[in-house]
Amino acid sequence: MFDAPVLTGLASRSGIVDEAEERALVAAIDATDLTPFRFQGWMGRRLTSSFGFSYDFETQRAARADPIPDWLLPIRDRMAAFAGIDAGSLIQALLIRYDPGAGIGWHRDRPIYERVVGFSLGAPADMRFRRRRPKGGFDRVSLPLEPRGAYHLSGEARHDWEHSIVETDRTRWSVTVRSASARGRAILV
Ligand X SMILES: O=C(O)CCC(=O)C(=O)O
Q: Is 96 in the site for ligand X (CB under 6 A)?
A: yes
Q: Which is nearer to ligand X, 47 or 165 (CB)?
A: 165
Q: Which is nearer to ligand X, 154 or 174 (CB)?
A: 174
Residues 6+ apart with CB under 8 A from 157: 7, 8, 9, 10, 129
- Interaction mask 139-168, ligand X, x per CB under 6 A: ------------------------x-x---
**Distance in Å, CB of 44 to ligand X, minimum:** 11
> Residues 1-40, buried b or exposed e (16+ Cβ, 10 A)?
eeeeeebebbbbbeebbeeeebeebbebbeebebeebeee
Binding partner at 112 among ligand X, Fe ion, none, C-beta below 5 to 8 Å by kind: none
CB of 119 to ligand X, least distance (A): 7
Q: Give the C-alpha separation, 174 to 145, whole Å.
A: 10
DSSP states of 83-124: HTS-GGGEEEEEEEEE-TT--EEEE---TTEEEEEEEEEES-
Q: With H, G, I as helix, E, B as strand and everything else as coil, classify residue 141.
A: strand
- Count the helices and strands in the chain (H runs, E runs): 4, 13
Binding of Fe ion by 109 (CB under 5 A): yes
- Of 74 and 124, which CB lies nearer to Fe ion in the complex structure? 124
- Give the H/E segment covering residue 25: helix 19-30
CB 109 to Fe ion: min, Å: 5
**Residues in 102-141 that interact with ligand X by CB under 6 A:** 104, 109, 118
Based on the shown chain and the rule CB under 5 A, indicate whether residue 114 belongs to the binding site for Fe ion: no
| Residues that bind ligand X in the complex, under the rule CB under 6 A | 94, 96, 104, 109, 118, 163, 165, 174, 176
| Residues that bind Fe ion in the complex, under the rule CB under 5 A | 109
